A and B are shown apart, each in its own frame.
Chain A
Amino acid sequence: MIRRFRFLALFAALALIAAACGGDDSSDTTAAPSATTTTAAPATTTTAGGSTDTTAAPTDTTPIIIGAAVDLSQNMAPFNTPANRAAEIMVERINDAGGVLGGRPLELRTLDATVEPDVVKATAIDLIDQGAEILMVTCDFDFAFPAIQEAIQANILTVAPCIGTDAMGPNNLGEEGRIAFSFGDQAQDEGAVLAEFARDQGWETAVVVKNNLLIYFQDVVDAFAVRFEEAGGTVVATEEFTGFDGTIGSVVTAVANEEKDVIAISSGFDDLPAFVFGLRALGDDTPIVCSWACDGTFWYQEGEPLNEFYYNTKVSLFGDDPNQDVQDFLAELTARGGPPATAAWLGGAQAVQAIAEAIEATGGTDAAAMAAYLEGFDNKSLIMGEVTLNADNHTVFGRPHRIMQVTDSMPAFLELRTATSPADIR
Chain B
Amino acid sequence: MTDLIQSLVDGVALGSLYALAALGIGLVFGVMRLINFAYGEVITAAAYTLLLTKDLNVGLRILLAVAVAVALSLVMEFVFRPLRVATPATMLITTFAVSFLLQNVAVLWFGTQGESIGFLSDLNRAFEIGGIRIRWITLVSILVGGAFLAAIAYLLDRTDIGLQMRAAASDFTTARLLGVRATRVIIFAFILSGVLAAVVAMMLAVQRPLATPTFGFFVVIPALVGVVVGGLDRLLSATIGGFVIGFATVMLSDLLPSQSRVFLNSVLFGLVIVVLLVKPNGLFLRGAATAERL
Contact = CB atoms under 8 A, between A and B. Distances in A.
Contact of B110 (A6, A30, A253): A30
Interface string B41-83: 0000000000000100000000000000000000100110110
Nearest to A244: B218
B208 interface: yes
A197 to B, nearest CB: 24
A282 B109 contact: no
Nearest to A271: B208
B116 interface: yes
A273 B102 CA distance: 24
Contacts of A283: 125-126
A246 B111 contact: no
B99 interface: no
A303 B123 CA distance: 13
B207 A274 contact: yes
Interface in B102-153: 102, 104-105, 107-116, 118, 121, 124-126, 133, 135
Contact of B262 (A27, A30, A75, A240): A240
B174 interface: no
A47 interface: no
Contact of B264 (A21, A22, A245, A273): A245
Contact of A304 (B82, B113, B121): B121
Contacts of A7: 79, 81-82
Contact of A248 (B18, B82, B208, B258): B208
Interface centre among A240, A241, A249 (most CB of B within 10 A): A249
Given A3-B81, A7-B82, A282-B125, A77 B218 contact: no
B212 A273 contact: no
Contacts of B105: 14, 17-18, 21
B181 interface: no
Contacts of B24: none
Interface centre among A4, A253, A278 (most CB of B within 10 A): A253
B202 to A, nearest CB: 15
B250 A281 contact: no
Contacts of A33: 108
A392 to B, nearest CB: 27
A238 B125 contact: no
A14 B97 CA distance: 12
B79 A11 contact: yes
B215 A298 contact: no
Contact of B112 (A6, A74, A274): A74
Interface centre among B6, B214, B262 (most CB of A within 10 A): B262
Contacts of B209: 273-274, 277, 301
A241 B13 CA distance: 17
Nearest to B264: A245
Contact of B3 (A11, A246, A248, A257): A257
Interface residues of A, number: 63
Given A6-B82, A242-B262, A281-B126, A18 B101 contact: yes
A33 B108 CA distance: 9
A298 B115 contact: yes
A246 B133 contact: no
B249 interface: yes
A242 B261 contact: yes
A250 interface: yes
A248 B261 CA distance: 12
Contacts of B116: 273, 298-302
A273 B262 contact: no
A253 B6 contact: yes
A253 B133 contact: yes
A270 B209 CA distance: 7
B268 to A, nearest CB: 9
Given A270-B210, A270-B215, A246 B249 contact: yes
A7 B124 CA distance: 42
Given A242-B262, A246-B222, A269-B210, A15 B101 contact: yes
A341 B14 CA distance: 31
Contacts of A4: 82
Interface of A: 3-4, 6-7, 10-11, 14-15, 17-19, 21-23, 27-30, 33, 73-78, 212, 237-242, 244-251, 253-254, 256-257, 269-274, 277-278, 281-283, 298-304, 341
11 contacts: A6-B78, A18-B108, A29-B112, A77-B111, A240-B261, A242-B261, A247-B264, A250-B14, A269-B212, A272-B210, A298-B115
Interface of B: 3, 6-7, 10-11, 13-14, 18, 54, 75, 78-79, 81-82, 101-102, 104-105, 107-116, 118, 121, 124-126, 133, 135, 207-210, 212, 214-215, 218-219, 222, 246, 249-250, 253-254, 258-259, 261-262, 264-265
